[in-house]
Amino acid sequence: MPDSELSKDIKVLDNQDVARVFADIATLLQLRGDSVFKIRAYTRAAEVFEHLPTQIASIAGDEDALKEIPGIGDAIAAKTHELVSTGRMTFFEKLRSEFAPGLLEIMAIPEVGPKTAIRATEELGIETLDDLEAALRDGSFAKLPRVGEKKAQNILRHLEARLSQADRMPIGKALPLAEQAIKELKKAAPGVRRLTVAGSIRRWRETAGDIDLLGVADDPEAVTAAFAALPMVVDVLGQGGTKASVIVGGGAQIDLRVTEERYFGALLLYFTGSKQHGIRLRERAQRMGLSLNEYGLTGGGDGELKSYETEVAVYEVLGLPYIPPEIREDQGEFAAAIAGELPDLVELEDVKGDLHVHSDWSDGHVSIEQMVHEAGARGLDYIAMTDHSSGRGIANGLSVERLVAHNREIEEFGSRAGGLRVFKGSEVDIRADGTLDYSDDVLADLDVVIASIHSGMSQPAEVMTARIIKAIENPYVTAIGHLTTRFVLDRPPVEADFDAIFRAASANGTLMEINASPKRLDLKDSHVRRARELGVRFLINTDSHDTDNFDSLRFGIGTARRGWAEKQDVLNTLPVAEFERFLRTPKPQRAAFRAVQAAAV
Ligand code: DGT
Ligand code: CA
Ligand code: CA
Ligand code: ZN
């Protein structure tokens, strides 16, 4: 197979990988003091590639197609072509060789600025993250100019987080890869049935160590063989009669198990995990005189192995109701199941509205009209257009004058959007002191106000907590957007007293957003669970900047479910009339609105 021979040598780059290279080039050019225009061109290319809906790898063979992408000139098209077709870029390699090895890697750790990174490489001889860790631990890093003990401690914390997650990928990357593998394998092995994702991805964990797939076939070996030969596979770690493990382009590992129909239930249960949930199940089986393994249950009278086609059937024998994969973490689900108190988890189909949507009025990619049309086409009943406030002058935020015009345009759409209700909204910046970008009388004209932090993220916890609570207490703020500002595996959360924040949100009737963008997933699962305990209610929003971003909703649902959230905890599951009634309710009474709703269920 010449195709897979070729792909064995060249790492298949996805759009994020390509974007990263151009962002790195921009960084190095900046360090070199190069022309502002050149730097801007590379920064722009990185942004364009990051948001490109098509896979660059699929068009990079065609330089003209690359040039047609807005924002990509001849020089960058040629470099992209070289990068994607050879896996290397001469220009980048030459540029990188002008700097100490490891500089980019070190600079990628939060709070390590360019000047410090250069000093670290030149004065301390740091070349790797391991070197960096040693220098942070022996105190030499803290002695660099403008660093100090406190900052060194922070950097060590970021570094440890980075190192412990080094071999995990975000679910936003893992799930699409799993889906691609499923699609390719169904085509290559038509005999495979019930092909499904298992492991941490089925539990919607925010990161995955590898991808686990499970299917049924009469001839399992034909399926594992077809799997090992898929075009996306770059290396085969092992292949046998019922299982195979491969590495695909981008470096992810996929484990496949193929079984007979009758074993599917027990194997899916085993292979979904979590490991800890599985261990508890086996203990429970043992107490009942049974033995649970990946094929089924043995014991009980005849000592024969009994197999199960569904997970439900296994749980039933163990005297348990079905426990959804998202909460199989051994974090109280058994006690809840036994007490008959499992949460009735919110579902994708429950969501009726999206209250955090951007357009090209700020940093979105398409018009209000296009976003509204897409939302309608996806069956939503209502959305809020929430472009950015003027803030720090970036993200093309709206001045008060432009906000007024934005409102007017939305009102026009409101009457034309064919059943879809479009709310006037804003994603208003929470400034460093907790005040908002717009005055209260401006906010009062809006239907939906999402207040978010986009700067000053390294404030001390006390300052940050007070800042956020101040926004929570504002009478016009509907919800706090992406509370911690973290990026999955990429940017640490702000430090704050989250319990105090959730208590304030609950008392004021301010909602907490579960931002569904797979890059953010913010609140994260554990925050949702804690916030819910403290009486907080939520919005699950996509924060869409383009029409295809509405797809992200499922990641928000997965996160909400991992946080044990029920439909009644999520306000945008309300029918539009009820949601409007919520918005018309003055803030102090919104907290009570919650109870009314709960009682009404
Ligand atoms: P990951 O890949 O690190 O994101 O996490 P998982 O949960 O997908 O773990 P993985 O891929 O190692 O294994 C998939 C499932 O198989 C896991 O969730 C539970 C089951 N499993 C794997 N190893 C063990 C084990 O040693 N004991 C038990 N009880 N189950 C295991
Ligand atoms: Ca896994
Ligand atoms: Ca695995
Ligand atoms: Zn935002």
Nearest ligand to residue 256 Cα: 3
410 and 552 co-located in one domain: yes
What's residue 158's pLDDT? 83
458 and 355 co-located in one domain: yes
| Residue 298 parent element (H or E) | strand 296-299
What's residue 95's pLDDT? 95
What's residue 71's pLDDT? 83
Q: What's the distance, Cα to Cα, between the start and end of the chain in Å?
A: 60
Number of domains in the chain: 5
Low-confidence ranges of the chain (pLDDT < 70): 1-12, 165, 392-395, 414-417, 593-601
Residue 216 β-bridge partners: 193, 259
Look at residue 596 and tell me if it is in a domain.
no
400 and 510 co-located in one domain: yes
CB atoms within 10 A of CB 78: 15
The range of the structural domain enclosing residue 541 comes to 348-575
Q: Looking at the CA of residue 210, tell me the nearest atom of ligand 1.
A: 2
What's residue 594's pLDDT? 60
Look at residue 326 and tell me if it is in a domain.
yes
207 and 272 co-located in one domain: no
Q: Rounded CA gap, 526 and 358, in Å?
A: 27
Radius of gyration from C-alpha coordinates of the chain? 26
Closest among 551, 469, 558 to 521, alpha carbons compared = 558
What CATH number is associated with residue 286? 3.30.210.10
209 CB near ligand 1 (under 6 Å) = yes
Q: For residue 161, how far is its CA from the centre of ligand 1 (angstroms)?
A: 21
Of 338, 367, 395, the residue that ends a domain is: 338
Evaluated on CA atoms 214, 215, 219, 225, the torsion sign reads: negative
What's residue 4's pLDDT? 36
Look at residue 490 and tell me if it is in a domain.
yes
**Cα angle: 273, vertex 322, 317; to 5 degrees:** 95
Q: For residue 199, how far is its CA from the centre of ligand 1 (angstroms)?
A: 6
Look at residue 595 and tell me if it is in a domain.
no
Which residue's alpha carbon is nearest to atom 30 within ligand 1?
275
398 and 494 co-located in one domain: yes
Q: Rounded CA gap, 121 and 593, in Å?
A: 57
383 and 243 co-located in one domain: no
* pTM of structure: 0.81
156 and 180 co-located in one domain: no
What's residue 58's pLDDT? 75
204 CB near ligand 1 (under 6 Å) = no
245 CB near ligand 1 (under 6 Å) = no
Q: For residue 482, how far is its CA from the centre of ligand 4 (angstroms)?
A: 7
208 CB near ligand 1 (under 6 Å) = yes
pLDDT digits (tens, 9 = 90+) for 26-72: 999 999 999 999 999 999 999 888 877 777 877 777 778 888 888 88
Q: Rounded CA gap, 354 and 443, in Å?
A: 19
Look at residue 583 and tell me if it is in a domain.
no
170 CB near ligand 1 (under 6 Å) = no
